[in-house]
């Protein structure tokens, strides 16, 4: 399985890094060129030909930083539709997209356009806890603990499984399933704020480095390759320092443009 990082931060921002300016973008991960996991970033990083190859979009939740690429994806594909792109998530998320985004007011209803027989998007509801086939991958959605209905995903291809946490605070079920998934090869886990902002993390239901460490331990695999994402760009350097102090052996903080193979 090949994972390409289009965006991996909790907000869009140009930041100054050691090697010059770096563009942080909101979450979007392209798997095997055809499945997009969250749609925070699409158009700014993918050529039209690459956007046309996307068959499914797995959405963890409805927050704007995870869906903001969908309207422009629809625009870019509007005269290119061969087959609709399948927006795949729990029913609450799909219902929210229809009533709050593609409602003919905020944006055109691309579930009916350009013509109801051949729309840009179709919906596919996911039942939680059940393995389902998505573009050749096996996907299980597990609810996590966030401000709105949110799921993380187990995404398996053959004998390799990737865990994607979604936005979450302290949670249990997803780690329990991770602990009993022998094919688990890597985990993408969110961390949004530095430890000093634990109170904001608590009310917004996100993790800090200390909270991340506590959650990660629940998997019981200290050597599992773990990729931390969803850092708020403003606190990036501080969060990176705090994560480094945890001394977790195979921890990587994700960057835009990175590719992972498992």
Q: Based on DSSP, count helices (H) and strands (E) in the chain, helices before strands.
A: 8, 16
Least distance between Zn ion and beta carbon 64 (Å) = 8
Q: Which is nearer to Zn ion, 25 or 63 (CB)?
A: 63
Q: Does 242 bind Zn ion (CB under 5 A)?
A: no
Nearer residue to Zn ion within complex by CB, 11 or 72: 11
CB of 149 to Zn ion, least distance (A): 11
- Residue with smaller CB distance to Zn ion, 61 or 185: 61
Touching Zn ion, residues 47-86 (CB under 5 A) = 63, 65
d(CA 260, CA 55): 20
The helix, strand and coil proportions of the chain, stated in percent and rounded to the nearest 5, come to 25, 30, 45
User: Minimum distance from CB of 76 to Zn ion (Å)?
Assistant: 23
The residue (of 149 and 209) whose beta carbon lies closer to Zn ion is 149
**Phi, then psi, of 235 in degrees rounded to 5:** -110, 15
> Smaller CB distance to Zn ion: residue 4 or 25?
25
CB 167 within 8 Å of CB 232: no
In the complex, the smallest distance separating the C-beta of residue 23 from Zn ion, rounded to whole angstroms, is 17
Does position 190 interact with Zn ion (CB under 5 A)? The reply is no
Per-residue binder mask for Zn ion (CB under 5 A), 151-180, x = binder: ----------------x-------------
* Among 144, 196, 197, 143, residue whose Cα is nearest residue 169: 144
d(CA 125, CA 151): 12
d(CA 56, CA 53): 9
Where on the chain is the footprint of Zn ion (CB under 5 A)? 63, 65, 167
């Amino acid at each position: 399985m090949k994972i390409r990082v289009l965006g991996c931060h909790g907000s869009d921002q140009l930041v100054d890094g050691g090697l010059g300016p770096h563009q942080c973008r909101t979450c979007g991960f392209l798997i095997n060129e055809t499945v997009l996991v969250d749609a925070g970033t699409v158009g700014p990083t993918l050529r039209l030909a690459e956007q046309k190859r996307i068959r499914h979009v797995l959405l963890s939740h409805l927050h704007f930083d995870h869906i903001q690429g969908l309207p422009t994806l629809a625009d870019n594909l509007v005269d290119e539709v061969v087959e609709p792109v399948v927006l795949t998530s729990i029913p609450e998320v799909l219902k929210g997209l229809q009533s709050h985004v593609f409602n003919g007011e905020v944006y055109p209803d691309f579930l009916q356009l350009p013509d109801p027989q051949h729309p840009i998007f179709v919906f596919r509801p996911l039942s939680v806890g059940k393995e389902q086939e998505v573009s050749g991958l096996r996907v299980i959605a597990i609810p996590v603990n966030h401000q709105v209905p949110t799921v993380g995903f187990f995404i398996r291809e053959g004998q390799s499984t990737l865990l994607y946490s979604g936005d979450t605070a302290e949670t249990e079920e997803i780690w329990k399933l991770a602990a009993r998934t022998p094919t688990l090869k890597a985990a993408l886990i969110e961390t949004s704020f530095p430890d000093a902002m634990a109170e904001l993390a608590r009310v917004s239901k996100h993790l800090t480095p200390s909270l991340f460490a506590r959650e990660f331990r629940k998997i019981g695999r200290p050597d599992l390759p773990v990729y931390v994402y969803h850092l708020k760009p403003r606190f990036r350097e501080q969060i990176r320092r705090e994560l480094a102090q945890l001394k977790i052996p195979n921890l990587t903080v994700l960057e835009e443009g990175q590719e992972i193979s498992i």
